[in-house]
Amino acid sequence: MDMKVAAEAGLGGPIDRYLAALHRRISEVRDGAIATYIPELAKVDPELFGIAIATVDGRVYTAGDAGVPFTIQSISKAFVYGYTLAEYGRDYVLSRIGVEPTGEAFNSIVLDEVHNRPFNPMVNAGAMAAAELIKGETPEARIATMLSALSRFAGRSLHIDDDVHRSEQATGHRNRAIAYMMLNSGMIHSPPETILDIYFRQCSVRVTCSDLAVMAATLANDGVNPLTGEVALERDYVQDILTVMNSCGMYNYAGQWSYEVGMPAKSGVSGGIIAIIPGQIGIGVFSPRLDLHGHSVRGVRVCKEISETFGLHIFRNHTNSGAVIRHELTGAVVRSKRMRAPHERERLDKEGQRIRLIEVQGGLFFGSTERLVRRVDEISVEADYIILDLRRVHDADTAAGRLLVELDTGLAERGRRLILAHMRADGRLASLHALMAAHGDGEARLFEHRDNALEWCENSLLASVADARDLTKFSLAQLDIFKGLDRDEIRVLEGMVRPMVFEAGETIVREGDEARLFFVVARGVVTVQLRIRQDGGDRVLRVASLGPGVSFGEMALIDGGRRSADIVADERAVCYGFSVEQLRETGKTHPNLLLTIMGNMMRDFSERLRRANGEIRALEQ
């Protein structure tokens, strides 16, 4: 199911729910005031508020008024600066526009007179110098070039708001003063009104909050638009934009912003803010009320909370998020070491799609975990049990924990179960283990090994589709190893069966013992295990678990010999024991009895071998 459809159906994922809650909470903030020095901006509804997050692989999450258009204003400066770098090269642009922060407001009349250039491209003076560099033989051609450049970042055609443009033209006298000062000192060479016209037009381009997130995600994605796949800017210049945004994008608040939020960002007086986490996401926020620095009050709050909640400060080290999912398997393909009776295997073949196992790899942080939870949310439409195999995960940060908690909550609301495997309280994922254990409802959900997780899911699934068969009663005819025997042959077996009860932890068969009996489990679970000598001690390796209806020790019917492993009762177990010697003797007078049992054994071994081969092929794909 498409994530947008899922959200509309009330099945939104963790990030959708998080953004909705964040939007509700910050909607209560009503500090700040709308910019009025551009009259057209003063007409906007002060309660408009949108949030959007776009990932580097093209997923856009939104909350609130993310589709409401407004003008881009100073946010355009970052993208026009990128255009100039691509057209003229780093050295030339640096000779015309510096990269030093001013510590002043965006419209300060202050210039770098030592180098005879504006201090940086994020203040108005630097943006005007960049606007002069937009190519075109005519004013109309230059406007088309500017719109084309911005549209590549947004992934759609953008247009100018003529009312806002006229309002800026009528009231932009301070910008005119800056432009004429720059002309006087030789920082620009074209007529100021010509430069101002295109500058006012670029600030008047209409965008939405979602557009801003995609534009930001394009920078996060090394200049490639995540929606269209088009290269909006060569990757070599992306670092230049992000560096200047980090030091200058928030003007005289840039240092504190970088310290507290830690994302390259750019704001605009219409109430927009973009923020970028390289390699992961772009954020767009829109809310018109501004603080004393000229930044959206709610926008600043949103970015701070997202950064703090998910640990997204850029100076936290993260790895690539693209390959978080190593493999996906269904319960119809991969099974636990629990050896099942044929009828149970048939059930798991039919219903196994309801169990999904995802092998996860690398580090879990916001970008990688977002991809993981998005995939889990997609497959949860069909799967009831979803296992995350975390054995190849070397780290999980606060963002990963938060997203997995949100994912677990959402799945539980829809009757699904999230199961985490290879989780130990004292392992490298100890903090994630503690967080998930504290969040849980007491059901089995965290397992040290994926095999235990698979067995738990299989047991739960089989219990939910249980048939009328009851293997806890003394009924040999119901046991698969005796399938095909007639009534007289079953009576012969009943005369030689030895019901045996074993308490939890009791050894039923010991490695090296002479094989005199073979068994069928009637009740409870037993485990086949090997003792491996290692570093001067013994390590117990679980080979398989056996439940009702499954036989063990039957190879003694073929070759006798000695036991090759220990078999221990996991819980109080009832087993049916049969003397190997007596069965062989009975076979002389009832040859069909022994042939049928051995034929059932061979079919069972063959089916297990085919399944093992299928699982190996699936794992090798």
Say which residues have a Cβ less than 8 Å from residue 407's Cβ, sequence separation at least 6. 13, 14, 373, 376, 377, 418
Known catalytic membership, residue 269:
yes
Known catalytic membership, residue 385:
no
CB 595 within 8 A of CB 478: no
**From CA 585, how far away is CA 601, in angstroms rounded?**
19
Phi, psi of 284 (to 5 degrees): -125, 135
CB 46: neighbour CB atoms within 10 A?
Answer: 14
Residue type, position 617, single letter: R
Residue type, position 220, single letter: A
Closest of 520, 525, 509 to residue 583, by C-alpha: 520
Q: Which of 74, 296, 336, 380 is catalytic?
A: 74
Known catalytic membership, residue 576:
no
Known catalytic membership, residue 74:
yes
Q: Which of 61, 81, 251, 253 is catalytic?
A: 251
**From CA 199, how far away is CA 126, in angstroms rounded?**
11
Known catalytic membership, residue 77:
yes
Residue type, position 249, single letter: G
Contacts 24+ apart (CB under 8 A), 102-110: 102/248, 102/251, 102/252, 103/252, 104/251, 104/252, 105/251, 105/252, 105/293, 105/294, 106/74, 106/251, 106/294, 107/174, 107/175, 107/178, 109/174, 109/177, 109/178, 109/181
Q: Which of 269, 302, 393, 520 is catalytic?
A: 269
CB 15 within 8 A of CB 61: yes
Say which residues have a Cβ less than 8 Å from residue 499's Cβ, sequence separation at least 6. 474, 522, 574, 575, 576, 577
Phi, psi of 233 (to 5 degrees): -160, 140
Q: Which of 18, 199, 237, 576 is catalytic?
A: 199
Length of the chain: 621
* Tokens found for residue 349: 């073949």
DSSP 520: E
Burial class of residue 216 in the structure, from the number of CB atoms within 10 Å of its CB (0-12 exposed, 13-18 middle, 19+ buried): buried
CB 477: neighbour CB atoms within 10 A?
Answer: 13
Q: Which of 44, 56, 60, 77 is catalytic?
A: 77
CB 592 within 8 A of CB 522: no
Number of H helices, E strands in the chain: 22, 22
Q: Give the CA distances from residue 340 to residues 380, 550, 605, in Å, rounded to whole numbers and listed in that order.
A: 26, 6, 12
Closest of 351, 611, 340 to residue 461, by C-alpha: 351
Burial class of residue 418 in the structure, from the number of CB atoms within 10 Å of its CB (0-12 exposed, 13-18 middle, 19+ buried): buried
**From CA 265, how far away is CA 250, in angstroms rounded?**
7
Among all residues, which ones are annotated catalytic? 74, 77, 199, 251, 269
